[in-house]
Amino acid sequence: MKKYVHNFSAGPCILPKEVMQKAAEAVIEYNNSGLSIIEMSHRSKDFVAVMDKSFALVRELLNVPDNYDISFLQGGASLQFTMLPQNLLPVGGKVGYLNTGVWASKAVKEAEFYGETIQVASSKDKNFSYVPKDYSIPSDLSYLHLTSNNTIYGTQLKSFPETSVPLVCDMSSDLMSKVIDVSKFDLIYAGAQKNMGPAGVTLVISKKGIFGKSGRKIPTMLDYTTHIDNESMFNTPPCFSIYTCMLTMEWLKNLGGIAAMEAINEKKGKLLYDEIDSNPLFLGTAAKEDRSLMNVTFVMKDPSLEPEFSQMAKERNLSGIEGHRSVGGYRASIYNAMPIESVQALVDAMRDMAKKHA
């Protein structure tokens, strides 16, 4: 294989090496069938078993209660921005949003096509570097939309509001990175490519009984009940993406499940944030109490040193640490599959940079 690269990409992102190996093998031939995973019928016994196992693993790992459905959809998290209000916002209803960044803003924009949107709070005043707290939630909202982890700005919700308003949450960039209580939400969704698998599949977990009340005519493919009723097989599912997600979930299970993963993620985050806080050259950009354990954002106190540090990172195969084009600086994404050795390699580079400029 090619030289080892520490992959800090925000998404599509690093997946476990053994997952990649198994996925690659399945592309050549799956399960001694003489067929590749990408050329066999999605109705075949072999692939139906992959679907069944994938549903079961989501349910087991996230402890999804029986009164929730699990779906594997397409169109990315971005299509959810449209499907949500179509399915959950009644004509004349209101939807609330916690505006914590680009993804939340994009979700609001799509909801505006369907009804009134209310921003319950926003952190735009400080370029989304913190998570708003102590806001009030109008009780007449059809639902409140949250983004649990702000991939671009490196902030993360450490708790979810206690409210009687149904909660809908975009967990694209931190689902399966820490223990959550699914029963607190009406609907959770996540594009796979940040923590679960390749792009092309979106996981949706929805409480039974929430659909069919919006009074809207919903095109078949955009209606959640189509996919739930057909066990995500109404049309051809993204077979390879789902298979690879299944492998990642098996890997996660073998590692001890999500609680074990959470402990590892905390360790990785601490290692990197401690360096950012103690290194004289670097500065974290997110408010300390809201720092994400998935996307770590930072800048150099002297921006004129950034080209030199970027060059050093390149020489050490630290890949994908440039900040999002809308923020600049650096962003190290340290998702589940990122080994602590790679985080250490970044920390070492930061230390060596500081020594050079002491």
| Residues forming the active site | 103, 170, 194
Contact residues for 145 (Cβ-Cβ < 8 A; gap 6+): 84, 95, 96, 97, 98, 104, 107, 108, 111, 168, 169, 170
Of 87, 173, 214, 285, which one interacts with ligand PLP (CB under 6 A)?
A: 173
170 touches ligand PLP by CB under 6 A: yes
Segment near ligand PLP (CB under 6 A); pick from 70-78, 160-168, 178-186, 271-279? 70-78
Number of residues that bind ligand PLP (CB under 6 A): 12
**Strand bridging mode 202-207 / 187-191:** antiparallel
Q: How far is the CB of 214 from ligand PLP (least distance, A)?
A: 22
Kindly state the tokens that stand for 314: 């390149």
What is the rounded distance in angstroms from the CA atom of residue 354 to the CA atom of residue 6? 21
Q: Which residue is nearest to ligand PLP (CB)?
A: 76
CB of 155 to ligand PLP, least distance (A): 11
CB nearer to ligand PLP: give 11 or 16.
11
- Residue keyed to tokens 């993963």: 261
Near ligand PLP by CB under 6 A: residue from 33, 74, 78, 344: 78
Report whether 198 contacts 241 (CB < 8 A). Answer: yes
Subset of 181-220 contacting ligand PLP (CB under 6 A): 191, 194
Q: Give residue 175's Cα distance to chain centre.
A: 5
Using CB under 6 A as the binding rule, whether residue 12 contacts ligand PLP is answered as no
DSSP string, 296-315: EEEEESSGGGHHHHHHHHHH
Q: Is residue 151 at the binding interface for ligand PLP, with CB under 6 A as the rule?
A: yes
Which of 43, 35, 41, 39 is closest to 233 using CA atoms?
A: 43
d(CA 249, CA 278): 35
> Which range, of 130-138, 168-176, 177-185, 271-279, touches ligand PLP by CB under 6 A?
168-176
- In whole angstroms, how close is the CB of 199 to ligand PLP at the nearest point? 7
Judged by CB under 6 A, does residue 85 bind ligand PLP?
A: no
Give the CA distances from residue 138 to residues 26, 134, 158, 236, in Å, rounded to whole numbers and listed in that order. 50, 13, 22, 40
147 touches ligand PLP by CB under 6 A? yes
- Which residues bind to ligand PLP, rule: CB under 6 A? 11, 76-78, 103, 147, 151, 170, 172-173, 191, 194
